Structure formats: C-alpha cells, structure tokens
Chain A
Amino acid sequence: EVQLVESGGGLVKPGGSLRLSCAASGFTFSSYSMNWVRQAPGKGLEWVSSISSSSSYIYYADSVKGRFTISRDNAKNSLYLQMNSLRAEDTAVYYCARDPVAGREPAAEFDYWGQGTLVTVSS
C-alpha cells in the first residue's frame, strides 16, 4: 500500500524558515517524480514544486521560486521542502504527492497524496 506521511509543519514568524519532510513507503520511491502541493485555509489546491526521480529536473511555482528548495533522498525514501523567507501568504497545509508514471520527467500530475502538514506563518 502506497503511503506518504508529511511532517515538519508548525508556527513560524514571517521571514523564518521551516523544513518539511515526506516519508514514502509501499512503492519504489527512487523510480517516481514527486511533488509538493499546498492549500491555504478555505482555499483550493496550488502546485508548489516537483522533482524528478534522480533530482535532475526540478520545477517551482513562481510564488515560491527563490525561497523554497525541493530535494529528496532516495536511500531514505524521503522528500523534503526547505522553506525560507516565509510570508503570511505561505500559510497552508502542505501535501506530498506522487507522480503517476514511473521514470518520466515531472509532469505535476498526482495519483497518491499524503494527509498534509500545516504551516502557519504569523507573528
């Protein structure tokens, strides 16, 4: 059974940093591109970032480019999101999501989702 479990969320002040993690199990993690998607309170879903299976291809939404860094450790079956220079508008639940097709470049498509971790940016 595919499982994605996010952690690392919390309350942080504007301008601060936070690192999210996603632990993956139930599939060959190293074969799939992975993604972060977020959802502000009461709002819809917003794609944040994608990374290919070997980390060769990385993409970001314009809203986070230059502030967020996606990475992965295939030996630990883990995906990460380093978030710097956080703003109030980054407040959201952050979801880890898997690309449906093994071995392809990131297409920002999703077939399995985690339960999410809440990031609150407030003074």
Chain B
Amino acid sequence: QLVLTQSPSASASLGASVKLTCTLSSGHSSYAIAWHQQQPEKGPRYLMKLNSDGSHSKGDGIPDRFSGSSSGAERYLTISSLQSEDEADYYCQTWGGVFGGGTKLTVL
C-alpha cells in the first residue's frame, strides 16, 4: 500500500533554513511526489514536483528559496531564508491522490 509519512510539526527561526521530510512506503521509492503549501485559512498552493533523482520543477512564481531533493525513499523540501509567510502546513502528495499527513511549520 502506497503511504506517505510526514512529521506532524517542525520549527525554525526567521532567516534560517529548514528541511522537511516525506517518506514513501516500502516498494515505492522510485515514485515522484509533489509538495503543496497551505497557509492559514487559504487553499493549498502547488510548490513543486520532485523526482526520485532529485530533479524538480517548481510551480509558477515559487521563489528560489524553495528547493527539493531526494535520497532513496525520502523526499525533502528545503526552505531557506525563512520568512514569516512560510509559516504554513506542508503536504507531500503522489500519484493517485495519496497525501501525507502534513507538517505544520512554525517560524520562530
């Protein structure tokens, strides 16, 4: 069964960097995923598609501060130079409409 696992929460300081993790279930380590951001009281926003080799393609208008990388079954979203508006829920998602549980990012 295809499952995506995310830590429920993360925090980092204003101006710092943070790396969020999404783990694919066993047997699915070659799958691409997408990262979506959901700011409070807003609809989700597509950030990027991230392939198993670490290549990624970002959505329209997504700043260079957002980047993706991969290692085995792990998919990462790195946000550098954190800003207050980056405080949001981040969801990974893969083929077939499977979503991770989301990570709530707090910017300190």
Interface residues of A (CB under 8 A from B): 35, 37, 44-47, 50, 61, 95, 97, 100, 107-116
Contacts and interface: CB of A to CB of B under 8 A. Distances in A.
Given A45-B99, A108-B98, A116-B43, 4 more contacts: A44-B91, A109-B95, A113-B36, A113-B45
B44 A47 contact: no
A81 to B, nearest CB: 15
Nearest to B89: A44
B41 to A, nearest CB: 10
A95 B95 contact: no
B97 A108 contact: yes
Contact of A45 (B42, B45, B93, B95): B93
B46 A110 contact: yes
B62 to A, nearest CB: 11
Interface of B: 34, 36, 38, 42-46, 49, 59, 91, 93, 95-102
A95 B49 contact: no
Nearest to B60: A2
Contacts of B93: 45, 109-110
The 9 closest A-B pairs by CB, nearest first: A47-B97, A108-B97, A115-B43, A111-B46, A45-B99, A113-B43, A113-B44, A44-B102, A116-B43
A35 B100 CA distance: 18
Contact of A108 (B49, B96, B100, B101): B96
A112 B60 CA distance: 10
B36 A107 contact: no
Nearest to A6: B43
B46 to A, nearest CB: 5
Contact of A35 (B34, B36, B95, B97): B97
B91 A45 contact: yes
Contact of A107 (B59, B96, B102): B96
